[in-house]
Amino acid sequence: MQLGTRWTLGTDAPASLPSAVVEAVRSVERELDGHDTTGWRWTLTYLERRPVVELDDGTVVRLDANGVVSIIPA
């Protein structure tokens, strides 16, 4: 596993993320609109060179070997 970076919910995701992963992250953020997410952050790591993005509440967005993006709720 390789550590990537962290960023605050609602701010720009790292430019290195594939657009499908960024769209999934934004989708999660839209679902959380109206909830108190003050201080929540995303953590990007790489597992087998594929991005895994985890929100502080435990929600995970991952890209599999076939290029399919999954959102795993907390």
| Distance (Å, whole) CA 46 – CA 63 | 10
| Distance (Å, whole) CA 40 – CA 36 | 9
Q: Give the pLDDT confidence score for residue 4 in this predicted structure.
A: 78
pLDDT digits (tens, 9 = 90+) for 21-72: 999 999 999 999 999 999 999 999 999 999 999 999 999 999 999 999 999 9
